[in-house]
Amino acid sequence: MRWFHRRDALVLSAACAAAALLAASGCGQSQDAPAAAPATPPPQPGSIEITQADIDWFRRSHAEWVGCESGAPAIVPPDMTLEQFGDVLDGGSSPVFDRFVNVAAAFFLHANFVAGHYAFEPPFEQRTAFDVTAEHIRLLQHANWNSFVIDCKRPYGDFTHFEIDMADILGLPITKDAKGLAQIGKDAEKRMNALHADVLPTLQAYIRFARLNPGRYVVPGRGIAQTRGRPLCRPVSATRLAMYQRALQAAGPRSDSRRVAALDEAAAALFALD
């Protein structure tokens, strides 16, 4: 019996010691229930998810020269030829193009693209690199874009003599001849033609190197993104985004000409250049 009593005492003593240790360490005490994870905020109105796969896919697009009239470059979607792209723009349908519109519009509105030296690997149009200047970027921003194609008839404005529009965009002097016609001089005209040709590798550098991270981005719907979209080359401001989202909410879910007109006007402001 004494042995049992001693053993019981030892067990009790060990239990007390363990309890003391647990109390000191906080173990064995009731813990507060873990805090609930914060609720995921609802998506912003008019926003879509752009993944790294989307970004990598867009970079497989290619700039290609459209040879009508004055000529100008276009962004041709991945896995499409220029001819196939033209067929879609003429009224065809393609899931590739639907995806392209969303991703390209996100790039146009939210990506950052700066002047610099860009290496092409693989080479582009036999070029292994190209130096993008501030003038190239300004022309890219101010070109007449429609459906991710620069207007090959009037690439930069309303003049048939598009070099005048380019000079105006770049802030170069423009004079008038005896007939009142705008003139920039032969040397300036030659330089404008060279810059116009440079827009092709500039656009290819944009496709490969404009910076955009995966995330959720506000972009207009397909039709408006096609007609109003232009590469801003810097992220659109929060103020412009908020204005567009207010217009989107005010337009509501109805589908009529007034809604389309309101959203088109809001998208024009979204893509406007300062």
Q: What is the DSSP string of 123-186?
A: EETTEEEEEE-HHHHHHHHHS-EETTEE-SSSSSSS-SSHHHHHHHHTT---EE-TTS-EE--H
Assigned domain for 23 exists: no
* Structural domain includes residue 200: yes
Q: Residue ranges of the chain with pLDDT lower than 70?
A: 1-43
Q: What percent of the chain has pLDDT over 70?
A: 84
Is 65 a member of any domain? yes
Is residue 142 included in any domain, yes or no?
Answer: yes
Determine, yes or no, domain membership for 27: no
How many structural domains does the chain have? Answer: 1
pLDDT of residue 27: 43
Taken in order 21, 23, 26, 32, the sign of the CA dihedral is: positive
Q: b/e for 70-92, b at 16 or more Cβ within 10 A?
A: bbbbbbbbeebeeebbbebeeee
State the pLDDT at residue 223. Answer: 86
63 domain residue, yes or no = yes
Q: Is 185 inside a domain boundary? A: yes
pLDDT at 15: 41
- pLDDT value of position 41: 60
pLDDT at 113: 98
- Confidence (pLDDT) at 1: 39
- Full-prediction pTM beyond 0.85? no
> Residue 181 sits in which domain range?
47-237
> Does residue 36 belong to any structural domain of this protein?
no
